[in-house]
Amino acid sequence: MIDYEGLLDVFWSAHDPRVPSHSVQYRSAILYRTEDERESAQASKARLEAIVGPVSTAIEPFKHFHRAESYHQKYRLRARRDLMQEFRARFATDEAFVDSTGAARVNGWLDGYGPSHENPSIGQRSA
């Protein structure tokens, strides 16, 4: 489990928020549900801007969730034909595959998250 402030820390460290997006669909945004979350998001953005300068991340109220197109789901895993052959044999539908926590973990591992090959006790993104 992670609290909202911890989630914000992960969010800021996972990309370069100074780079403006080329489209609304791929923009950097923080969504909040409560006034406390809005205040936390704005405070975290202000702290980062004090260090790196202006960032292009929007802070907006959460309205509704749209699942990304299937080709965006488990993107790293889908690029591995050998692994996808195994996953397709285990899941009857693409929706079941996308909803699989096992597929999510493998996808994250392929993208550099989780234990490293050299040191399995390390549980951070390797870069």
Domain ranges for the chain: 4-61, 68-127
From residue 65, give the alpha-carbon distance in Å to each of 21, 30, 60, 62: 20, 13, 13, 8
Token representation of residue 50: 């004090």
- 4-8, 103-107, 116-120: range with lowest mean pLDDT: 116-120
pLDDT tens digit sequence for 28-43: 999 999 999 999 999 9
Segment holding 31, helix H or strand E: strand 29-32
The three-state secondary structure class of 11 is: helix
Strand partners, 61: 32
Strand partners, 32: 61
CA angle 56, 61, 65 (to 5 degrees): 100
Segment holding 89, helix H or strand E: helix 81-90
Q: How far is 53 from 64, CA to CA, in rounded Å?
A: 30
Average confidence score pLDDT of the chain: 88
- Strand pairing class (58-61; 29-32): parallel
Token representation of residue 68: 């990304």
* 13-28: average pLDDT: 87
The three-state secondary structure class of 29 is: strand
The three-state secondary structure class of 38 is: helix
Residue 91 has a pLDDT of 94
Token representation of residue 20: 């403006």
Place 71 in a pLDDT band, splitting at 50, 70 and 90. Answer: confident
Q: What pTM did the predictor assign?
A: 0.65
